[in-house]
Amino acid sequence: MIRVLIADDEPLIVAGVRTVLESAGDIVVVAGVANGRQAVEAARRHHVDVALLDITMPVLDGLAAAARLAGPRVVMLTAFGDERNVRLALHAGVSGFVLKNCAPEELIRAVRAAHAGEAYLSPAVTRQVLGMVSLGEDERGREAARRLAVLTAREREILALVGEGLSNAETGRRVHLSEATVKTYMSRILAKLDCANRVQAALLVRDAESRADR
Domain ranges within the chain, ordered by starting residue? 2-122, 138-212
Q: Write out pLDDT tens, residues 11-38.
A: 999 999 999 999 999 999 999 999 999 9
Q: Which of the two residues, 158 and 90, has the higher pLDDT score?
A: 158
Cβ proximity of 28 and 2 under 8 Å: yes
First to last CA, the chain: 49
Amino acid 127: pLDDT: 59
If one looks up domain 2-122 in CATH, what number appears? 3.40.50.2300
For the chain, give me the number of helices (H) and strands (E)? 11, 5
Amino acid 163: pLDDT: 73
* Radius of gyration, CA atoms only, the chain: 17
SS3 assignment for 119-147: CCCCHHHHHHHHHHCCCCCHHHHHHHHHH
Q: Is the pLDDT of residue 94 over 50?
A: yes
If pLDDT is split at 50, 70 and 90, which confidence band does 173 have?
very high
Q: Is 138-212 a CATH 3.30.70.270 domain?
A: no
Mean pLDDT of all residues in 45-69: 91
